[in-house]
Amino acid sequence: MQNIDGLIPAIVQDWHTGKVLMLAYVNQESYDYMLKNGETCFWSRSRQILWHKGETSGNVQKIKNMAFDCDSDTLLIQVEQTGTGACHTGSYSCFGVNASEYEILDEVYNQIIDRKNNPKEKSYTNYLLEKGIDKICKKVGEESSEVIIAAKNENKNDLIDEIVDLAYHLEVLMFVSGITPKDIRAKFAKRHAKEGNLKIANEKGGF
């Protein structure tokens, strides 16, 4: 265990998306708490007390990994964010109110995680999770067929709607199968690697 001299900044990063969620400060006491309990805890400079993140809001951050920088004066904490998000405003990140278009798939995935950990009555996601993989696979098949029909009908708006429906059900399937958006991005990067000009590098010959 590493000793912390005074207060050091802690960058909190979403384990699944890589997005920076917030910046806070850590001392030895809060660091020891995190090692023991597996959830983020900081030192509040304004109140001069320990601050267990999510203690009142319920938006706790479950620690997946912690690492010091090369000078050991900054701590990176990678977490599984629960609830609505990290910011006291209710936003996912303190550095932006809404998810960008690129990040929305990660947002949906995080909501699926939250529904699993914090079930809600009449939640369609909870319904799918309770029914299990057979039901989820059936829905993926149905949505795939609807995508094909919309494409054949050459209706762009309907096609977009059906693709979104399919993407959502695929994310639920990914979750129950232990696959994250990060895994998918890594595979895309491997198949569609760029090194100067486009270079295909994967076992299947690339795209």
User: Each residue of 57-89: pLDDT tens digit?
Assistant: 888 999 999 999 998 899 999 998 888 788 887
Structural Rg of the chain based on CA atoms: 21
Which of 3, 57, 48, 2 is CA-nearest to residue 25?
Answer: 48
Separation between Cα atoms, residue 196 and residue 192, nearest integer Å: 12
36-58 residues labelled b (16+ CB within 10 A) or e (exposed): eeebbbbbeeeeeeebbbbeeee
pLDDT in tens, 109-150: 888 998 999 999 999 999 999 999 999 999 999 999 999 999
Token pair, residue 95, equals 């550095």
Q: What is the pTM of this model?
A: 0.54
